[in-house]
Amino acid sequence: MKTRVPNIYAAGDVLGKYMLYHAAVKESVVAAWNILHGKPIYEVNFNSIPMTIFTEPEAAMVGLSEDAAKARGINYVTVSYPLEDDAYAQIMGVREGWVKLIIEKESQRVIGGVVYGEAASMIINEIALAVAVNARVKDIALLAHQHPTIFESIDRAAIRFSL
Ligand SMILES: Cc1cc2nc3c(=O)[nH]c(=O)nc-3n(C[C@H](O)[C@H](O)[C@H](O)COP(=O)(O)OP(=O)(O)OC[C@H]3O[C@@H](n4cnc5c(N)ncnc54)[C@H](O)[C@@H]3O)c2cc1C
């Protein structure tokens, strides 16, 4: 968060990166910690800032999109799971939507995700954590996601890939 001017740090929209509230908050916290430590020891993980279009239904994304992965020459695969098959979505009467994981083929690490539908803004946070910590798709598949919650949809997508 340090600028080229000594002793001046920057955070938020002024960076021109992710012009979002949660990005601004995290950038300012990291800037404050670095100022208190007297040197830059923490970094914001700009690869894993989630964003949501708060329409009805919602659409959310994090990490690399398929287009970005293609542009970088990354060999990737995707796996999707329709929300209409999810138990919680069925309870809530949700008929449309899906969860998609974007996975680097060789390492099987989750590099991005897109969610469209019920609670997309919530589901995307788990995918953001997976991207942030370089989780493998199997790490998600092995986690017992609570039933009946919409988070099972990520679980099912990961299981589909890992089988
Ligand atoms: C309509 C709208 C809806 C949004 N909805 C969302 C959303 O749902 N989710 C989300 O994540 N993000 C949303 N955003 C984006 C989010 O508000 C910004 O990313 C966030 O506020 C950036 O924080 P900031 O501290 O960098 O800037 P700001 O919040 O803009 O704060 C900058 C402050 O600096 C002050 N200032 C400017 N010039 C000077 C000066 N010369 N001297 C002193 N003070 C000055 C301003 O008055 C302001 O208070 C929305 C933005 C808008 C406009």
Hey, where are the domains in the chain?
12-44, 48-159
Give the CA count within 13 Å in the CB-facing half-sphere of 63: 26
Residue 6's H or E segment, with its range, is none
Mean pLDDT of 81-95: 94
**C-alpha distance from residue 114 to each of 5, 33, 41, 42 (Å):** 38, 31, 31, 27
pLDDT for the residue numbered 91: 94
Active site (annotated) includes residue 147: yes
Top pLDDT among 2 and 68 is at 68
Pocket test for ligand 1, best of 20, 51, 52, 54 (most atoms within 8 A of CB): 20
pLDDT higher than threshold 80 for residue 163: no
Distance 15 CA to ligand 1 centre (A): 12
Ligand 1 neighbours, Cβ below 6 Å, are 12-14, 19-22, 24
pLDDT score recorded for residue 93: 93
Inform me whether the pLDDT recorded for 162 exceeds 90. no
Q: What pLDDT, on a 0 to 100 scale, did the predictor assign at position 6?
A: 83
Q: What is d(CA 149, CA 143) in angstroms, rounded to the nearest whole number?
A: 14
Give the Å distance between the CA of 12 and the centre of ligand 1: 8
Q: How far apart are the C-alpha atoms of 67 and 59, rounded to whole Å? A: 17
- b (16+ CB within 10 A) / e for 50-80: bbbeeeebbbbbbbbeeeebeeeebebeebe
Q: ∠ CA(32), CA(34), CA(36), 5° rounding?
A: 70
Of the CA atoms within 13 Å of residue 26, those in its CB half-sphere come to 15
Closest ligand 1 atom, residue 20 Cα: 19
d(C-alpha 98, C-alpha 93), whole Å: 14
Q: pLDDT tens for residues 13-37?
A: 999 999 999 999 999 999 999 999 9
**Whole-number average pLDDT of the chain:** 96
d(CA 94, ligand 1 centre) in Å: 34
Domain 48-159 fold: Enolase-like; domain 1 (3.30.390)
Is 61's pLDDT higher than 80? yes
Which ligand 1 atom minimizes the distance to the CA of 28? 25
* Residue 137 phi, psi dihedral angles, 5° rounding: -60, -30
φ and ψ at 142, to 5 degrees? -85, -10
For ligand 1, what atom is nearest to the CA of residue 12? 26
**What local confidence, expressed as pLDDT, does residue 78 receive?**
98
pLDDT computed for residue 42 by the predictor: 93
Q: How far is the CA of 11 from the centre of ligand 1 (A)?
A: 11
Cα–Cα distance, 49 to 63 (Å, whole number)? 7
Q: What is the pLDDT of residue 45?
A: 94
Given pLDDT bands bounded at 50, 70 and 90, which one contains residue 40?
Answer: confident
pTM over 0.75: yes
